[in-house]
Amino acid sequence: MNTEQMVEVQCPYCAESFEVLVDCSLGHQEYVEECEVCNRPVELVIDISPEGEAAVQTRGEDV
């Protein structure tokens, strides 16, 4: 079973969308990923639904 999903997120700084790879077997996760467009650190808050779907929220440091 492939537990990794590509999830599209929106950058809170530049509003561009980029994709992050989420390992759904890990459950709730929080980590920082650099935006591919503006290279600023985007905080990702990831929850995995019981169906195995990843839901990703983004937060900026000053947004």
Give the span between the Cα atoms of 39 and 44, in whole angstroms: 14
Phi, psi (rounded to 5 degrees) for 25? -75, -10
Q: Interface with Zn ion includes 14 (CB under 5 A)?
A: yes
Token pair, residue 34, equals 């650099």
Q: Interface with Zn ion includes 48 (CB under 5 A)?
A: no
Task: Give the interface segment with Zn ion, choosing from 7-15, 24-32, 46-54, 55-63 (CB under 5 A).
Answer: 7-15
Give the span between the Cα atoms of 5 and 52, in whole angstroms: 10
The distance of closest approach from Cβ of residue 36 to Zn ion in the complex, given in angstroms and rounded to an integer, is 7
The footprint of Zn ion (CB under 5 A) covers 11, 13-14, 35, 37-38
